[in-house]
């Protein structure tokens, strides 16, 4: 943007010297205009797009304003909500403000069910539209070769709708957004050694590393918990574990299969459920991820603590998790949880 923007500015200076100031609107404009700036667009390109859509009066005025604004060269590709007939300086000011972008924000740990609902709402689609498209087109959205084909997996895209902010327009199709999310997940996962992590922690390939990371994300209350939570998972999976005998016993997995978020779940309810995602009745990891982990949860799954943690309790019921190395220590933590009014 800086290079070509500078060239554009030279052109503007010549224009100004010969003809006077470039045509420009005054004020902040009116109404709402959705503008998409593609990747690789430079100052003059951006000005052209804005002029064609009635946002600014001339390309030269925009290029000048972009160069005069200290943040002008930081304008990125994306979708912006601007106004009609804005002064060039106001347009630039608005575009360097993140709030002007029309973004779909997916929080870390979001389950796919919630992501599908967000997409439907953002695009004003009938509820269930995106979920249906995801189900019918999952194999066409760019999943990596190592993605599991396990028949017990609830949603093959779970763990691949990467938590981030995505630009959308009114014309964006759900499958296009899903494809972007899967592509972003692939990019992030390629940055780390998933194969090496799987071998190191005796997992069956990258798929299980992502699954472990999703459990870390779901059970960890704070980022400080993540590495300890990852160690709990790996310690419980060990064949030598005689404390829980390879049962993870995570409420988050039971909540996932029931699409709920309960803190107190009756043991009778849990024990009668034999679903593969119920880690109280099924040994080992869930068949697939139970959400979309962020970078920190993934990093924790790759590099857990090595302190001997095997138990944990959310002692305040919501925000605080405490860890224990023995069953007796666990019982003391459980007493703290049971004492909550």
Q: pLDDT grade, residue 2 (50/70/90)? A: very low
Phi, psi of 81, deg, nearest 5: -105, 105
Q: What is the spatial distance between Cα 73 and Cα 52, in angstroms, rounded to a whole number?
A: 21
Long-range contact set of residues 144-153: C-beta below 8 Å, sequence gap at least 24? 144/186, 144/189, 144/206, 146/194, 146/205, 146/206, 146/207, 147/207, 148/207, 148/287, 148/288, 150/287, 150/288, 152/276, 152/277, 152/287, 152/288, 153/287, 153/288
Provide the pLDDT for residue 317: 65
Tokens in use for 140?
A: 């066409």
Report yes or no: 286 and 256 within 8 Å, Cβ to Cβ. Answer: yes
Q: What is the spatial distance between Cα 109 and Cα 219, in angstroms, rounded to a whole number?
A: 10
Q: What is the mean pLDDT of residues 97-125?
A: 93
CA angle 289, 295, 300 (to 5 degrees): 75
Residue, of 270 and 21, whose pLDDT is higher: 270
Q: pLDDT grade, residue 72 (50/70/90)? A: very high
Q: What is the mean pLDDT of residues 226-232?
A: 97
User: In terms of DSSP bridges, do strands 311-313 and 322-324 run parallel, antiparallel, or are they unpaired?
Assistant: antiparallel
Q: What is the mean pLDDT of residues 240-265?
A: 92
Radius of gyration for the alpha carbons in the chain, expressed in angstroms and rounded: 25
For the chain, what is the mean pLDDT?
90
Residue 19 predicted with pLDDT over 90: no
- pTM here? 0.80
Instruction: Summarize pLDDT for 28-71 with one digit per residue, the tens.
Output: 998 888 898 998 898 999 999 999 999 999 999 999 999 999 99
DSSP SS3 for 180? helix
Residue boundaries of the structural domains of the chain: 2-100, 103-190, 194-338
Query: pLDDT > 90: what percent of the chain?
Result: 74
Residue, of 6 and 40, whose pLDDT is higher: 40
Q: pLDDT grade, residue 1 (50/70/90)? A: very low
Instruction: Summarize pLDDT for 170-195 with one digit per residue, the tens.
Output: 889 999 999 999 999 999 999 999 99
20: left (phi over 0), alpha (psi -120 to 50) or beta: left
Provide the pLDDT for residue 7: 42
Instruction: Summarize pLDDT for 282-337 with one digit per residue, the tens.
Output: 999 999 999 999 999 999 999 999 999 999 998 776 778 999 999 999 999 888 88
Q: What is the mean pLDDT of residues 3-21?
A: 51
Residue 10 predicted with pLDDT over 60: no
2-100 topology per CATH: Dna Ligase; domain 1 (3.30.1490)
Tokens in use for 322?
A: 């405490």
Burial grade of 39 (CB within 10 A; 0-12, 13-18, 19 or more):
exposed
CA atoms within 13 A of residue 166's CA, in its CB half-sphere: 27
Please name the residue that has the structure tokens 């593969």.
276
Residue 245 predicted with pLDDT over 60: yes
């Amino acid at each position: 943007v800086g290079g070509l923007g500078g060239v554009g500015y030279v052109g503007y200076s010549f224009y100004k010297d010969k003809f006077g100031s470039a045509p420009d609107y005054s004020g902040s404009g009116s109404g709402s205009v959705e503008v998409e700036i593609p990747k690789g667009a430079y100052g003059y390109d951006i000005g052209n797009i804005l002029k064609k859509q009635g946002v600014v009066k001339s390309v030269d005025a925009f290029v000048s304003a972009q160069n005069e604004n200290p943040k002008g060269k930081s304008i990125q590709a994306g979708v912006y909500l601007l106004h009609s007939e804005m002064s060039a300086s106001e347009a630039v000011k608005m575009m360097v403000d993140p709030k002007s972008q029309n973004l779909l924000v997916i929080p870390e740990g979001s389950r796919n069910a919630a992501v599908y609902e967000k997409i439907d709402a953002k695009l004003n689609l009938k509820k269930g539209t995106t979920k249906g498209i995801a189900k019918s087109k999952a194999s066409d959205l760019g999943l990596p070769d190592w993605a599991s084909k396990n028949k017990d997996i609830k949603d093959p895209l779970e763990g691949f709708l990467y938590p981030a902010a995505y630009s959308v327009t009114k014309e964006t199709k759900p499958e296009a957004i899903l494809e972007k999310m899967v592509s972003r997940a692939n990019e992030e996962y390629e940055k780390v050694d998933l194969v090496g992590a799987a071998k190191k922690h005796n997992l069956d390939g990258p798929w299980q590393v992502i699954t472990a990371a999703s459990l870390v994300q779901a059970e960890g209350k704070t980022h400080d918990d993540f590495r300890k939570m990852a160690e709990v998972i790996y310690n419980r999976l060990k064949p030598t574990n005689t404390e829980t005998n390879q049962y993870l016993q995570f409420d988050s997995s039971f909540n996932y299969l029931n699409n709920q978020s309960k803190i107190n779940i009756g043991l009778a309810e849990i024990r009668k459920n034999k679903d593969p995602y119920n880690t109280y009745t099924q040994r080992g990891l869930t068949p697939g991820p139970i959400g979309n982990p962020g970078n920190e949860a993934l990093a924790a799954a790759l590099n857990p603590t090595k302190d001997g943690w095997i138990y944990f309790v959310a002692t305040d019921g919501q925000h605080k998790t405490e860890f224990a190395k023995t069953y007796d220590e666990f019982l003391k933590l459980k007493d703290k949880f049971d004492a909550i009014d």
